[in-house]
Amino acid sequence: MADFGFRDQRAIGSLLRASAGATAIEFAIVFPVFLVFVLGIVEFGRALWTQTALQSAVETAARCAAVNPTNCTPSVTRYAASQAFGLSIPAGEFTYTAAASCGVAGNTKGALVVASHVFDPIIGQLVPGLSVTLTARSCHP
């Protein structure tokens, strides 16, 4: 019976020295972390690109409304939505305020355009409630 204990120790020792599946196990541990890291970078890039396009759209619309509002026809909000290049943002997410002061005392000729857009990341389908509201504001005196 003492022979079984020795065989068990040898079997455990050879099992600990075996490395046949080590690469597969390391891959199974590292791959999900790597995948989350890469998807996070992609989603951050998309959010940054959306924020930049949104800011550019409100700046262009505010300048157009302040300089020559007849060029921003039929409405400033629709013009702003058309200036969000690469995005299909509805005009209802933009607001336009004519005769804004823009932080200058006594100014009543400014044009204020504000946008609020909900950004839904692709990984938000896996994790509900992961959406972020992006806002942009521009006032042109």
Domain ranges of the chain: 22-140
How do residues 1-47 score in pLDDT, each as one tens digit? 555 556 677 777 776 676 677 888 889 999 999 998 998 899 999 99
Non-local (6+) Cβ contacts of 54 within 8 A are 84, 87, 89, 115, 117, 134, 135, 136
What's the pLDDT at 21?
Answer: 77
* Enclosing H/E stretch for 136: strand 132-140
Check residue 4 and give its pLDDT.
Answer: 56
Whole-model pTM over 0.85 = no
The 10s digit of each residue's pLDDT in 57-68 is: 999 999 999 888
Phi and psi at 20, nearest 5°, equal -65, -40
Token reading at 69: 């509002």
**Among residues 118, 121, 111, which one has the least CA distance to residue 141?**
111
